[in-house]
Amino acid sequence: MHHSTFSATFVALLAGTASAVVKDWGQCGGGQGWSGDSECASGSGCIKINDYYSQCQPGAAPANLQPEPQQPPLPASSTGTPTATGTPAGTGPGKELQSGYYWVRAVAAPNFHKYMQSNPLYATGPAVLGDYTTAGQFQVVDGQLVQLVSGPGEKPEKHLYGIVSEERFINNNSLSVTWSTTKNSYGKFAWNGDGLTWSVADITRPNAAAWYVCTGQQMYINLGNYLYQTPSGCADQTIHYYNDKHANN
Ligand SMILES: *[C@@H]1O[C@H](CO)[C@@H](O)[C@H](O)[C@H]1NC(C)=O
C-alpha cells in the first residue's frame, strides 16, 4: 500500500519533467500499471517479459509499447516465427511440482528465474520463458521433452512434446521449439549436469545447452556459440532444471 502510494506520487512528480531514457535492463513502458519512462537507450529495445513488466534489453528491436491483453497471439514475422495458435491440451498441473517432473528455467539476466512454459499455457504453440507463477512441469523420456498438461493427480496424465524445427530461424542458427501432441522426430533432448540439452547426429554444436530467448519470449535452440553473434532481439541463455516443491521467483 505504502509502496503504490509512493509510486503514484513519484510519477506525478515526474510528470512535469521531460521523460528520461531507461537504462539497459531497467523497466520500460508496456507493463500493465506502468506509467514510468518508456524509451530505452539507443541500441536497446523494450522487451515485454510478462503483462506487468517490460525491460530494456541491449540489441533488442524496439517493441510496441501499447499494453497488450492477457496472452495475446504472437505476431507472425517475416522470418516464419511460429505463432501461438494452440488450444489448451489440459488444465495444467498447478503450482506444486508433480512426482517425476521438473521446473525448467533460466538463471541469468535478462531472464533470471523465467520458466519454460507454452504460449498459450498447456497448449500447442511455441515454447517460451515466462513468469514463475505459470511455470510448466517437464521430464525427459527417451530423448523427448515432455510437458505435463493434465491437472494435479489426474490419470491418465496428458502430455505435450517439444518439437524441434528442422527449419532454421533468425540467424540461420536457431531452431524453434513448439509443443505438440505428437512426438518429436528431430534430435534428442537430455538432462546434462543441471542443463537442458538437445543434440542431433548431423550437427556439431559448440554448446549443447545454448538457447536463445527472443521476441515474445520465444525459445530457440542456439546451434552456434553461446554469447557470440547473438541475433538482435534475442538473449543468450542456458536452461536448467530443478525439483523444489514450488517454482520460485
Ligand atoms: C543455413 O545453414 C545451413 C546449414 O549450415 C546451410 O546449408 C545454408 O546454406 C544456410 N543458409 C543461409 C541462407 O546461410
Q: Could you report the per-residue pLDDT of 122-142, keeping only the tens digit for each?
A: 999 999 999 999 999 999 999
Do residue 142 and residue 190 come from a single domain? yes
Boundary-marking domain end, from 45, 64, 83? 64
CB 249, CB 113: distance < 8 Å: yes
> pLDDT tens digits, residue range 196-211?
999 999 999 999 999 9
Arithmetic mean of pLDDT over the chain: 84
Which residues touch 112 (CB under 8 Å, ≥6 apart)? 106
Evaluate whether residue 25 is within a structural domain.
Answer: yes
Band (13; pLDDT cuts 50, 70, 90):
very low
Same domain? 133 vs 32: no
**Alpha helices, DSSP H only, in the chain?**
2-15
CA pair distance 37, 49, nearest whole angstrom:
16
What is the per-residue pLDDT across 216-225, written as a single tens digit (0 to 9) for each?
A: 999 999 999 9
Residue 111 sits in the same domain as residue 226 = yes
Residue showing cell 495458435? 85
The four Cα atoms 160, 86, 222, 150 give a dihedral, to 10 degrees, of -30
Asked if residue 108 and residue 223 are part of one domain, the reply reads: yes
27 in the same domain as 133? no
For residue 168, give the H/E element and its range: strand 159-169
172 CB within 6 A, ligand 1: yes
Min mean pLDDT across 22-31, 115-124, 143-152, 170-179 is at 22-31
Do 56 and 107 lie in a common domain? no
Reported confidence tier of residue 121, pLDDT bands at 50, 70, 90: very high
Q: Do 57 and 138 belong together in one domain? A: no
pLDDT at 69 over 80: no
- What are the percentages of helix, strand and coil residues in the chain, rounded to 5? 10, 35, 55
The answer as to whether 200 is a domain residue is: yes
Residues 226 and 108 grouped into a single domain: yes
131 is written with which cell numbers? 513468469
The answer to whether residues 124 and 221 belong to one domain is: yes
Pocket lining: 243 vs ligand 1, CB cutoff 6 Å = no
Same domain for 225 and 119, yes or no, is yes
Could you tell me if the CB of 203 is within 6 A of ligand 1?
no
Provide the domain limits for residue 125.
Answer: 103-242
Render 16-85 in DSSP notation, one character per residue: TSPPPPBPTTSEETTSTT--S--PBPTTEEEEEEETTEEEEEETPPPPP-S---SSPPPPP-TT------
pLDDT number for residue 10: 45
Distance 173 CA to ligand 1 centre (A): 8
pLDDT tops 70 at residue 109: yes
Going by pLDDT thresholds of 50, 70 and 90, the confidence category of residue 45 is confident
Residue 190 lies in a domain: yes
The number of the ligand 1 atom at minimal distance from the alpha carbon of 168 is: 1
Q: Convert the pLDDT of each residue in 2-12 to its tens digit.
A: 444 444 444 44
- Nearest alpha carbon, ligand 1 atom 12: 172
61: confidence class by pLDDT, cuts 50, 70, 90 = low
Q: Could you tell me which of 134, 139, 50 has the C-alpha nearest to residue 92? A: 134
Whether the pLDDT of residue 76 is over 60: the answer is no
Domain count, the chain: 2
C-alpha cell at 182: 505428437
Cell numbers at residue 8, please?
503514484
Secondary structure class of 215 (helix, strand, coil): helix
Ligand 1 within 6 A of CB of 168? yes
Residue 154: inside a domain, yes or no? yes
- 174 CA to centre of ligand 1 in angstroms: 11
217 inside domain? yes
Res 14 pLDDT > 60: no
Tell me the CA–centroid distance for residue 169 and ligand 1, in Å: 11
Nearest-atom index, ligand 1, CA of 172 = 1
Q: Ligand 1 center to residue 42 CA distance, Å?
A: 31
Indicate if ligand 1 lies below 6 Å from the C-beta of 185.
no
| Whether residue 31 is found in the same domain as residue 154 | no
Q: What is the pLDDT of residue 174?
A: 97
> Do 236 and 114 share a structural domain?
yes
Going from the Cα of 179 to the center of ligand 1, the distance in angstroms, rounded, reads 25
Distance from the alpha carbon of residue 15 to the mean position of ligand 1, in angstroms: 50
